[in-house]
Amino acid sequence: MSLEHVLLGMLREPASGYDLRKSFEEESRHFWSAELSQIYPALKRMMERGWLVCDAAPSERGPKRRVYERTHEGTSALESWLRQEPVEGRDRIAYIAQLIFLGELDDGVATTRFVESLHRHFKSKLTLLESALDEMLTSVDGNIDALDATGFHEYLSLQMGIAAYSARVDSSAESLALVAERYTGVVKND
């Protein structure tokens, strides 16, 4: 999955780079993150491809802001991407690498702290996703059929995210038990 396609999807309405960054923080944080240092070069590439146009718009403070809008070509690129097979991506999961190399330390305390931290992080993410799903369902009195097309697809993504983080919570709890077996007396129960 490319940042460009995610941005095309986010540009349902014209937005500035700053607005897009804010959307990542508020709406897209469940599946993607991007910094301004990534967003602006991507927007430039998208303009060069003809996927976006940019206009100056008044700003509440300071100079005019650049507002980006999807072109017909950009909408076509988004639609083409959406009709492709699912893109799983080649995620670099840094914590897995860290976990592998923690063996270099052979330190039960360090391993315990690391896995406990992962477990807390996964539980926090799961809680966040479950809260977002609850909020969505409350807004339609639990009637999924009342969701518009965008809402329904957000519902599906939340369901998948909850399943993924539930598995991570379970897996990290199992890992904590294994660490406790290996390094007896080191692990505190969560």
DSSP line for 52-94: EEEEEE--SSSSPEEEEEE-HHHHHHHHHHHTSPP-------H
Q: With CA atoms as reference, report the closest residue to 169 among 120, 128, 131.
A: 120
Same domain, 131 and 64: no
Same domain, 146 and 117: yes
Q: Count of domains in the chain?
A: 2
Q: Look at residues 32, 49, 82 and tell me which one is the last residue of a structural domain.
A: 82
Position 24 pLDDT exceeds 90:
no
Residue 116 lies in a domain: yes
- pLDDT at residue number 30: 61
Residue 187 lies in a domain: no
Burial per residue of 66-91, b for 16 or more beta-carbon CB atoms within 10 angstroms, e otherwise: bbbebbeebeebbeebeeeeeeeeee
- pLDDT at residue number 58: 81
Mean pLDDT value of segment 175-184:
92
Residue 64 lies in a domain: yes
Spatial distance between the Cα atoms of 102 and 177, rounded to a whole number of angstroms: 17
> How does residue 187 score in pLDDT terms, banded at 50, 70 and 90?
very low
> How does residue 33 score in pLDDT terms, banded at 50, 70 and 90?
confident
Maximum mean pLDDT: which of 24-28, 61-65, 155-159: 155-159
Mean pLDDT value of segment 168-188:
86
Residue 66 lies in a domain: yes
- pLDDT at residue number 28: 64
Same domain, 102 and 176: yes
Domain span holding position 177:
94-182
Position 188 pLDDT exceeds 60:
no
Position 141 pLDDT exceeds 90:
yes
- pLDDT at residue number 93: 79
Using an 8 Å Cβ cutoff, are 174 and 131 in contact?
no
Residue 189 lies in a domain: no
Q: Look at residues 82, 108, 139 and tell me which one is the last residue of a structural domain.
A: 82
- Residues shown for the chain: 190
pLDDT tens digit string along 145-170?
999 998 999 999 999 999 999 999 99
Position 190 pLDDT exceeds 60:
no
Contacts of 165 (CB under 8 A, 6+ apart): 122, 125, 126, 129
Residue 107 lies in a domain: yes
Position 7 pLDDT exceeds 60:
yes
- pLDDT at residue number 88: 74
Report field, pTM of the whole predicted structure over 0.85: no
Same domain, 120 and 72: no
Residue with the larger pLDDT of the pair 92 and 107? 107
DSSP conformational letter for 13:
S
Same domain, 109 and 49: no
Same domain, 22 and 70: yes
